[in-house]
Structure 1
Amino acid sequence: MTQTPAHRLIDGHLDLALGALEGRDPALSLDELRRLPLFTGVPGEAPQTPSVTFGELQAAGLGLCFGTLFARKGGAWPYTPGGYTDTEGARQEALRSLDWYHRWQDAGLIRLLPNRTALMAHLNDWEAGADLPLGVALLMEGADPVRGADDLPFWAEQGVRLIGPAWRGTRYAGGTGEPGGLTEAGHALLQAMADLNLTLDASHLDDAAFWDALPYGTRVIATHSNARHFIDSNRLLSDDMIRAIGERGGVVGVVPANFFIRAGWRTGQERVPLQELSEHARHIAGLIGWERVALGSDFDGGFGTEQLPAGLERYPDLHQLAQTLPAEHRAGFLWDNWARWLREHY
């Protein structure tokens, strides 16, 4: 399709392989996907309706995303029955995710971007209007699939360029709902990341782990994190954390999940207006500038349309979010800010 600047989109966080592993292959049409049994992230809560297919992403003008390798830890909620219970289990789940990305690339549905040369070619071709498949930069969300620091070169060779050490707590770091700093293994991992020139995704890191990680000098972004100014949770970024990311040239991707937008929101309540998410973006921009705020949708990553702000029913509706932002910053939010960061740091 012909791309225009207003129609281009980069998403800092999509759990594409997770959906496929759970039976929601995004190669299906949205109608087909929604006819499948709905998935439920929280026992007892309403089912969650998916919104991510390759067709929907193309219709939105998505040119590039950070696609995750995400392994679910086994156990009771918020963990997953049947999820991994040890390092090898986590590793195998991440490898299964990697296999899905290679299948999609072989089918011409995506274009993996394992290095700077591939990234630059894709961005330049896309901006020139070429008809391309979706570009995918691999992001490991939760580092438990990495056996140890000496295993990190293997994942870098597979094209992983960004790593978030935590989801909840991992062997490497305290995370969402499970406070703590870097473990001894986490310190070794951060040093190995710095040595391999990999980027730290601060999303999900507990404060202590975040501040432990900064001295290693890795590039730092937050692919999908809102502002703690509005919700007191270690899943979101404090003002000091946001400033630290900005000082290191990073970008923060805001996530349109109602429970990360309004304190106390629960599934079944009236969906929040998009304007409330834009307040998170405005707050972050007030701390580090509009050039460092972008999109990190996390769509279908454990929540569905029922948990999205009002008006977001399918992926292309994300363009409505940009309409709630100052007109002069919309193109940056949708494309330019991630594109600039990638050109400078990938």
Structure 2
Amino acid sequence: MTDAAITPPIFDGHNDLVLRLLRGDVTPEGVAAGLPDGHIDLPRAQAGGLGGGFFAVFVPSPPVPGTSPDDMNQPQYDLPLPLMLPEAEGRDVTIKGIAALEALERAGAVTLCRTVEALEEALFGPTMAAIMHIEGAEGIDPGLEQLHALHARGLRSLGPVWSRPTIFGHGVPFAFPSGPDTGPGLTDHGKRLIRECNALKIMVDLSHLNEKGVDDVAAISDAPLVATHSNAWAVTPHSRNLTDRQLAMIAESDGMVGINFASAFLRSDGQMKGDVPLEQMMRHLDHLIGILGEDRVGFGSDFDGALVPNEITDCAGLPALRTAMRAHGVDEALMEKLCWRNWMRVLRKTWGA
């Protein structure tokens, strides 16, 4: 494979590899040596030019009775969300997830980074550069003591919700066709959480928040608005995607959006099927750049958390994305911005380092 196929490196806004570790599907040593399935391991990352990304710590819910993944293959759907999780359960799983991510570093699969300088160095190194991210703040207490403890441990990015409600706010359901205006926004606890994240220089992720929640963050936050793994609602009218009004707010804040590879959020019919051409991803790319500009768009794959296009399959398939972008007219300067430089820019502005 040519150097052009695997360069520039891609820094990814979101993956769920830690969830596989929590479930016991894989081991840290297996991730470092290579896995027979899933989307991410170190050898495939090196083969595809995945330089690193946000590694999400997520607390899973039991399946909702009467629902299945096939529900997202219907012409219309509105999946009921799981109930709020107890704080003790959220805290226990979150701490185990952080420990699993640290074990990945000990195994030589990732390098945990707390500054942009460290990220840029690790991005071109032998391991994957990793940001510790929490997706859904179930493990954070109302007094925010746990937020401070996890920040000291390396937490640098947090999403207040993963779709289901938390004490901090409300997320969007998985619904198509649907807009993101699906309920109330941040609670008083949530507003304090955003202010404290700003004080600690923890990036706030808008992905999964509903419309009122995004508005609340925009009204409170003094940092750029960022959605790590979300797409354009104007192209795919799914509740998880961002409307033009929301994109304009993100642009005004000098934030950014990472394009989600999940098929249901890319396809015009909203279905979770892998036979989606990468030209459809280019439609989202064009729309996002049209509103956000070239400096505020990147990628947020949702690897190991969603069904991605067949042309990509896993992180070793990222050369297909670079090929599609070049065929679409993306030049090398813009390619570098989309693949990694835009993430470094917004993180430097958010973290101040």
TM-score range, shorter chain: 0.7 to 0.9
Distance 1:31 1:123, change over 3 A: closer
1:175 to 139, 151, 171: 171
Map 1:124-203 to 2 at 5 A.
124=121, 126-127=123-124, 131-151=125-145, 152-168=147-163, 169-177=165-173, 179-203=183-207
Cα offset, 1:145, TM superposition:
1.0
CA contact (8 A) 2:17 2:56 kept: yes
CA contact (8 A) 2:58 2:134 kept: yes
Once residues 290 and 58 of structure 1 are traced to their aligned partners in structure 2, the CA distance between those partners, rounded to angstroms, is 26
Q: Does 2:219 correspond to 1:219?
A: no
Cα offset, 1:14, TM superposition:
1.1
Amino acid at match of 1:163: L
CA contact (8 A) 2:263 2:274 kept: no
Cα offset, 1:277, TM superposition:
1.1
Distance 1:257 1:125, change over 3 A: closer
Amino acid at match of 1:135: A
Number of residue-to-residue matches in the alignment: 318
Cα RMSD (Å): 2.6
Q: Which residue of 1 aligns with 2:317?
A: 317
Q: Which residue of 2 aligns with 1:286?
A: 290
TM-score of the two chains, using structure 1 as the length reference: 0.84
Distance 1:171 1:33, change over 3 A: farther
1:25-64 Cα distance to aligned partner (Å, 9 max, x none): 2643798533xxxxxxxxxxxxxxx222222112222222
Cα offset, 1:282, TM superposition:
0.7
Q: Does 2:335 correspond to 1:334?
A: no
Amino acid at match of 1:275: E
CA contact (8 A) 2:298 2:343 kept: yes
2:52 to 64, 68, 85: 64
Amino acid at match of 1:174: H
Amino acid at match of 1:73: S
1:59-92 Cα distance to aligned partner (Å, 9 max, x none): 22222211111111345157899x9830110111
Residue 183 of structure 2 aligns to a residue in which SS? strand
CA contact (8 A) 2:87 2:141 kept: yes
Cα offset, 1:125, TM superposition:
5.9
Residue 144 of structure 2 aligns to a residue in which SS? helix
Amino acid at match of 1:86: P
CA contact (8 A) 1:164 1:203 kept: yes
Q: Which residue of 1 aligns with 2:71?
A: none
Once residues 22 and 66 of structure 1 are traced to their aligned partners in structure 2, the CA distance between those partners, rounded to angstroms, is 19
Distance 1:271 1:209, change over 3 A: same
Distance 1:107 1:309, change over 3 A: closer
Gaps of 5+ in 2: 68-78, 174-181
Identity of aligned residues (%): 27
TM-score of the two chains, using structure 2 as the length reference: 0.82
Once residues 206 and 146 of structure 1 are traced to their aligned partners in structure 2, the CA distance between those partners, rounded to angstroms, is 20
CA contact (8 A) 1:272 1:309 kept: yes
1:228-286 Cα distance to aligned partner (Å, 9 max, x none): 1123233111111111112212111001111001243434x561111001101110000
1:82-113 Cα distance to aligned partner (Å, 9 max, x none): x9830110111111111111111112221111
After the TM superposition, which segments of 4 or more aligned residues of structure 1 sit over 4 Å from their partners?
2-5, 29-32, 77-81
Cα offset, 1:203, TM superposition:
0.5
Q: Does 2:98 correspond to 1:109?
A: no
Amino acid at match of 1:257: A
Cα offset, 1:150, TM superposition:
2.6
CA contact (8 A) 2:223 2:350 kept: no
Amino acid at match of 1:60: G
Distance 1:125 1:202, change over 3 A: closer
Q: Which residue of 1 aligns with 2:76?
A: none
Distance 1:192 1:340, change over 3 A: closer
CA contact (8 A) 2:55 2:132 kept: yes
